[in-house]
Structures are given as C-alpha cells and as structure tokens.
Chain A
Amino acid sequence: MDSLIYLTESLMEIGPCSSDIDFDTGHPDKSTNDFLMRGVLPEGVGGIYVPGTEFGGLIEYIQTSNTSEVVTNKGYTWRGLLDQGVIEPPSGENYKIVSGDANAVIRSILSSFLGGLFYVPEEASGITITNYQFARYCTILDGLTDMLAEKDAKLTIQAVKPSAGAPIRVQVSAAPAVTIGDKYSAEYPVDMTYTENSMGITHLICLGQGELKDRTRIDLYVGANGEITDTPYYTGINDRTATFDYSSAQSESELRKYGIRRLNELKPGKTIGINDAEVDGDVGDHVYGYMNGMSTTVTIVQKILTISGGIWTYESKIEGDT
C-alpha cells in the first residue's frame, strides 16, 4: 500500500501524512524536481517520503501569511537535491573523466555530497563506463543523467527504510533503461496522437569559443532517417537552418555533443504522442507506441505524483511533450 510519511530532519519516520501534495521529478531539463505541500506541519517535521519510491525530499521552504490560513511548504525531491551539487574537474585537469562500473562511478561522485545523504549499493550495475568525460562544472544530476543516457541506462532513486529504528536511506543506482512495448497501440484503450512534423530544423550551425570569424563552427545535418550527420541531406525548400550558440564549450567534442542534442530536439519527424497519464515506467525508461502504421520509441522524462483529498494520481511525461 502506498503511504506518504513524515520524516524528522534526521530522516526518522514520524507517521503518515494526509496533506495534499504535488511531486514533480524527472529529467533536469524537463522537471522542476521539487514538491509542494499545503498545510500546517506537525512539530518536528523535516521531510516527507513515499517508501520504496523516489517521491520524497526535505522540506526547506515554508511560507505563512497573516492574510491567509494557507501554509505553503516546498522542497527539492531527492532527484532535485542532486541538482544542487556540481561535478568539478580535478585540480589541474580540464575535465573529470571516469571509468568503471556505473554504480562505482556514482558512488565516487556522491561520496561526500550532502553529508552522505545518498547511498549507492555495493552491487555492480553491469553497466560499464569507459573514459566518460563530464561537461565542466555540470550539476551532479545533469552529469549522471547524461552519462547513463549514453549507455541507454537510467538513474534510479529510491528512499527505503533499511531497518527498524534506523533513518531512511536514499538509494541511488544505475539500471538499464527498459522499453515498455506492445502496450500502447490502437488496440489498447489509450489516447494517442500521430504527428507528421516537417517544420523542424535540418541544418544546425553550432558556434563555440572564439571571436567573430575565429569562432569554432561545426555544421550538423539531419540525414535521411533522422540521424545526425556531417553531410547535408535536405536541400532546396527543405533546407531549414538555425544556429546554436554555445560559447562556453571547452572543446569541439563538447560543442558537437550538445549540438547533436539540440538538433535532435529541433529536427522534423513523425511522432506518436501517448496520453501521459497512461504511461508506466521510470524516468529514463522508453515507451514503444504503434499507430497509423508507424511505430516510435519515446523516453519518459518526468513523473508527477499528485495526492489530493486522499486520491493518488500518477502521471508521466514523455519526450516531446510540452
């Protein structure tokens, strides 16, 4: 049974919470990674969580007013707290470069973060990272999310109670992304939309460091099958060009990496939208949809839990939704 439980500041359980609350957690570019709860907090409350899930966090913002009885409580979700730290290059190095099992890498990144709030299991994830170069001074959440996405893996976060009398533990680990298939199709009673979008960008001029004519420039193109290439494919009326300004890119490879990510967001294509509320799975998992003879795979980028009047509503957002 799902239950929402109050925590002390030292992460000990106090008892169940029956307040209304909204959690928003997911990809750092798509989610606010925070929660909002209304109501007067019982004495000694410092946090809140749903056992066995990533819905939870520390209450760090309380707003009261003499004109309203409403008290607003907010905080970052566990995932949101990972956005409050930065991965720094080692002294004398330009980049932090890591190799090894993904869990070991995550453990090394989180070892001294927030006083050891996060726990990474000793078990190997089976996902091997080889010479991964973090962007300079990226947030921990950005860095780990990008690192795992390159391996088609996801960051799983789960707050659990390890034993009686002990504080809860926020467990962070890597896991392969799962594709939820064969469930979302015309035969399944789910609302879907099919979009054929030719309004996208097919040529992206990526501009990096330097001044005027000396700026680093990389031209990226959309290929015949939607892949990103260095060779123009679309010409004439279909040649749609935009610029991507990333003057802080420290290298050509970094400029290329973020340019590819940007062009993937801007390019034309055919997509299937699936009613978000119907989608199962974790942030980073994929959803396979089939409609009008076309199939597509999209990634879950946001999970929302709303508890209102005792009714729990889970909602997922998939890539491409606004």
Chain B
Amino acid sequence: MINVTYTASDGTVYNLMASMAMRIKTANFHESEWKATTTSRKFGVRVNGWAKEAKSFNMSILFRGSKAKRVSALNQFHASIDRDIIYNTPGILAWGDWHITAFIHSTSTYPSDKQDLETINDVTVLCPSPFWVSEQTVIVDPAGDTSLRPTDIQFNPSYTYPYSYQRSAEYPRIYIDHYAPCDFRAKIYGPVSSVHLQIGNADLSVSKAVPAGAYMIIDTREHLKPEEHCYMVFGSTVTNCFNDRDPSASLLEKLDPGFARIRYDRTTRLELTIFKERSEPEWTA
C-alpha cells in the first residue's frame, strides 16, 4: 500500500491512509496537463514551448471513530490547513516517495450516509508548483565512505582537474535516474579555503572560505529567494555568497540525468540532494 501523508507547515503530519482514523476515500493524483505556447501559422501552429499551470484537484477524506475522536481530528486538521493559508506557507502532500507542495483551500464536511461512525471531508488542493518531487541523497565524507551504492562508484585515476586535490585519484560517480535535468542542493562542510566542486558538467566553484563548524549551501531550486541559492551558515550568521561564485559557475543549472562524476577534494563532508520532478508521482509495482 502506498503511504500518503499531508505535512502541514506547522510540522503536523496527517496520515491519509491510516486504516481507521483518517483515510482518503477518493483522489486522483495521476492527472496532469501541459499547455503549448504557440504562434499561428498559415497551416496550424508552431509550438514554441510548453508550460504548466498550478495543479488543482479534489480529494475526499473519510474520518472514522467515535464522535469525539472525529471532532478532535477534524478540528486539528482544519486548524493546520487554515494556518497554512493564513501564513501563506504551503504544506507537503506525499504519495510514496514523491511529494508536492500544496494548499488545501476549500473544504466541505458532512456525515456519511452509510454509517454513524464516519464523517466525510471533501477538500480542494492547490499545488503552486505542478510537479511532484522525489529526493535522492548522496553523502561524500572525508573518510572515503559514501552513501553511494558500490555500483555507483567508479574511479578515473587519469583525470586531471585544474585544482589541487589531495585525493585526486578518486572521484565518485552518481547515477541520476531520471529523464529530465534535476535541481539539487549541495551542502559543503568546512573547513575549506574555497569550494571547488563540479558535478557532471555543472561547475559549482565558489571562492569563499568555509571555516570549521560552518557549511555552505548551493541550491538551484527556482522557488527560493535570491539570497537562498548560495549562502554560508556559521552559527547564527547567514552570509549570501552568490557574488563569490567563479564567473564560470552558474550555480543555477540543473544536473543532467544519467551518470555524473562528483569532482570534489573530499577533505570535508558533502551532502548532495537531487530533486527529481515528474508531472505525476511515479507508479510502483
């Protein structure tokens, strides 16, 4: 059975497939539509590109149990989704390994006509970004251990990279199992005098020292604020480092799917999270 949850922005997790208390009655997560942007031609149109609107769908949730339990569950759930709207901070709807940011902005609650122990709550969900996301995390640490499966790691001793690496003989390779370029977040721990990191063809070099106890984040995701794409955290101090990028490093390019070598000196820990996006969550057998 696929696990389906809604995590409100206050952190409360609602299990929407709990066999008793709360369970989805009907919902269709597997519907999507691309819209073409076109130029009219003598015959038909020329397709210039494709876009997607925000995703919206209906979901019917069944609340079960004693009246007191249902009232309590409904009140808590509605307080959470109301809070998301009031603060304009979306919750996260998860379907198995895939999740999407969502606002539940319309609800209608009424008793089930079948049993006295059931209450039905019909809701409408708005997903500002119309893509479902699955995360793949890779850790490269100074001890040489990685979270990569053995088959993912390959070595290329002959490669010469224009930086002086202590362990230049070992560059792990990851496999990005997707059909489209992926956003990612890299977390580089200090101490390093300067960040020299390349993943596949993406140059992520930032000429900024990261002291011991600090870390730098490089994040390509579009919905972030301008200052959240490259910054350093040291205690309670957050410093925007975007201007310290090397001119050749865009810091905003997605990673191509397939094999990608991580060229990094591995003197400190690196955590890499890859965000795979799909129009619909992936089916599992």
Contact = CB atoms under 8 A, between A and B. Distances in A.
A237 interface: no
B57 to A, nearest CB: 22
B51 to A, nearest CB: 7
B227 A1 contact: no
A311 B37 contact: yes
B192 to A, nearest CB: 14
A161 to B, nearest CB: 4
Nearest to B194: A164
Interface in A111-170: 160-165
A42 to B, nearest CB: 5
Given A14-B240, A311-B51, A164 B225 contact: no
B75 to A, nearest CB: 33
Contact of A15 (B51, B205, B208, B227): B227
Interface size, B (range): 20 to 34
Contacts of A164: 205-208, 243-247
Contacts of A16: 222, 226, 229, 252
**How big is the A interface, by class?**
20 to 34
A17 B207 CA distance: 22
B228 interface: yes
A12 B37 CA distance: 35
Given A309-B51, A311-B37, A311-B51, A15 B230 contact: yes
A16 to B, nearest CB: 6
Contacts of B206: 164
B253 A1 contact: yes
B247 A160 contact: yes
A162 B207 CA distance: 13
Contacts of B49: 311
Interface in B226-260: 226-230, 240, 242-247, 250, 252-253
A247 interface: no
A13 to B, nearest CB: 4
B247 A15 contact: no
Given A3-B252, A164-B206, A15 B244 contact: no
Contacts of B240: 14-15
Given A3-B250, A162-B247, A311-B37, A14 B207 contact: no
A25 to B, nearest CB: 22
Interface string B13-57: 000000000000000000000000101000000000101000000
14 contacts: A1-B253, A6-B226, A12-B243, A14-B242, A14-B243, A15-B226, A15-B229, A42-B226, A161-B245, A163-B207, A164-B244, A165-B243, A165-B244, A310-B51
Given A3-B250, A164-B247, 12 more contacts: A15-B226, A16-B252, A42-B227, A163-B246, A164-B207, A164-B244, A164-B245, A164-B246, A165-B207, A165-B208, A165-B243, A277-B39
